[in-house]
Amino acid sequence: MYAPKVGDRLDSLDTPSMIADLDLVEANLKKLMDKLLPTGLNIRPHLKTTKSAAIAGKMVKAGAKGGCVAKVSEAEAIAATGFDDLLITCEIVGLAKVKRLVELYRKHRNIRIVVDSEIGATAINEALAGSGIDEPIMVLIDLDVGLHRTGVKPGEPALALAQHIAGLRHLKLIGVQGYEGHLQHLHDKEDRKTQCLESMQILTGTADSLRNAGFKIDVVTTGGTGTAEFCATVPGVTELQPGSFIFMDTDYRNAVGSFYSNSLTILSTVVSKQGPRAVTIDSGLKSLTTDSGLAECKDSKYTYGVLGDEHGSLTWGEDTPPLSVGDRVEMIPSHIDPTVNLHDVYYAYRGAVIEEIWPVDSRGKVQ
Ligand code: PLP
Ligand code: MN
C-alpha cells in the first residue's frame, strides 16, 4: 500500500503532493513572532490558511495564543484535535449552522464568535437558551472597516448592535473585530500603511465609543499578513490575525515582497512531452487554484499554463535545459488558502527527507 512516512525521501512521493520546506516554515514563523511579539499584542493566527492543528500547535509554541478559523465546520475539525481556543471570524447564520455552533460550544467553551446583525445575534441567543447551557458565549461585534464584505457599519449601527447584544442573556460582548482584507495586497507599502491606519481609526474609535457607552470591550482584533505590522502600532488594537505568512503565495510575494518566503510548493511530475519546448505536468485546476493568477514553477525558467482539471503546461525559452517525461518540478501556488484546501496532507521536509506529516484537518470544511 502507498503510505509515505517520516524518514522517506521526497523523491518517493507520488504526485501531485503538497510539500512544505520546514526550514522556511520555521523561519517565517520566527520572523512574524520576532516582529510582533515585542508589541505585547495577542497573536491569534488565522488557521483558514493551514487548516492544520499541528501547525497551530507550532504557532502556539512560538508565542501565539489561540487561533482563528473562518467557519463553524472548520472549528469543529480543529477543536476535535484538542486545539479549541478559537475565534470563528465569519458570521454564523442559518438554523443548521447555529445548531452546530451550539453543539460545538457545549464541548468547547473557549470558542468565540462574531456577529454583525441583530437577527444573527438573536438566533444564536435563542438556540443557546434552548440548549441547557448556562454559560454565555463570548461574542465580538464584526465591524466593517472598509472591506464591505461583512461587518456592521461604525457609529450608530455598531452601538445599536451592542445594545441589542446586551439584552441577550446567552451572549457576552467582549470585543470588536475589523478585518481590512481589501488592503492586504496593496503593492505600495506607504499606501497600504496609510489606508490601514485609517481602518484602524475606525476600529479603535468604535471600540472607544462602545466603552464610552458603558460596554466592556477587551478584545480589538484585526490584521493580516500585509497589514499586521501597521495594525500593531495603533493604540487600542489588542490582537492580530495573520494567516498567509506561514506559507505565502505568489500573489502575496508580488504585493508585500519577500520578507516571508514561499515555503510551500506542489510537487509535480512531467507526464508528457508536447514539443521541443513544452511539456505537460500532472498539476492542473484540481491541484492549484487560479483565482489570483497562475501558479509559478519554482524554477522560474519554466512558465506554467493551465491545461485542464488534471494537467498544466510548462514551456521555456531557447537556451533553457529541456524538461523530459518523468522529471519533477515544484509549483508555487498563486493563492495559498484555497490551494491548501485541495489537498489532504502536507509532507514537511528538511533536506530531501520527510520530517513531519500534517493532515489538512479542516480540508473541505466550508460550512
Ligand atoms: N482575518 C480574517 C477575518 C480573514 O478573512 C483573513 C484572510 O482572509 C485573515 C485574518 C488572514 O489574512 P492573511 O491570510 O492575509 O494573512
Ligand atoms: Mn486568501
Of all helices (H) and strands (E), which one includes residue 296?
strand 296-297
**242-281 burial string, b = 16+ CB within 10 Å, else e?**
bbbbbbbbbbbbebbeeebbbbbbbbbbbbeeeeeebbbb
- Nearest in space to 287 (alpha carbons), one of 229, 339, 362: 339
pLDDT digits (tens, 9 = 90+) for 301-346: 999 999 999 999 999 999 999 999 999 999 999 999 999 999 999 9
pLDDT of residue 203: 98
Whole-angstrom Cα distance, residue 186 to residue 195? 10
Whole-angstrom Cα distance, residue 290 to residue 333? 9
Whole-angstrom Cα distance, residue 254 to residue 294? 13
- Which of 144, 183, 184 maximizes ligand 1 atoms within 8 Å of its Cβ, making it the mutation to test the pocket? 184
Is 50 touching ligand 1 by the criterion CB < 6 Å?
no
pLDDT of residue 140: 99
pLDDT of residue 32: 98
Is 244 touching ligand 1 by the criterion CB < 6 Å?
yes
- Nearest in space to 204 (alpha carbons), one of 157, 238, 174: 238
- Which of 179, 237, 335 maximizes ligand 1 atoms within 8 Å of its Cβ, making it the mutation to test the pocket? 179
Q: Are strands 171-177 and 137-142 parallel, antiparallel or unpaired?
A: parallel
- Phi, psi dihedrals of residue 324, rounded to the nearest 5°: -125, 160
Indicate the length of the chain as a whole number. 367
Distance 353 CA to ligand 2 centre (A): 29
Whole-angstrom Cα distance, residue 253 to residue 55? 21
The DSSP call for residue 16 is S
Distance 35 CA to ligand 2 centre (A): 22
pLDDT of residue 338: 98
Q: Structure pTM? A: 0.98
- Contact in structure between 91 and 120 (CB atoms under 8 Å): yes
Q: Counting ligands in written order, which one lies closest to the CA of residue 333? A: 2
- Nearest in space to 32 (alpha carbons), one of 186, 251, 249, 225: 225
Is 73 touching ligand 1 by the criterion CB < 6 Å?
no
Whole-angstrom Cα distance, residue 228 to residue 199? 12
Cα distances from 19 to residues 128, 336, 339, 348, in angstroms, run 42, 13, 12, 6
Neighbouring C-beta atoms of residue 1, cutoff 10 Å: 2
Q: Counting ligands in written order, which one lies closest to the CA of residue 186? A: 1
Q: Are strands 239-240 and 42-43 parallel, antiparallel or unpaired?
A: parallel
pLDDT digits (tens, 9 = 90+) for 60-95: 999 999 999 999 999 999 999 999 999 999 999 999
- Contact in structure between 181 and 232 (CB atoms under 8 Å): no
Whole-angstrom Cα distance, residue 136 to residue 167? 12
Residue 68 CB partners (closer than 8 Å, separation 6+):
44, 45, 46, 47, 48, 86, 87, 88, 89, 241, 243
Is 222 touching ligand 1 by the criterion CB < 6 Å?
no
Residues in the chain, pLDDT under 50: none
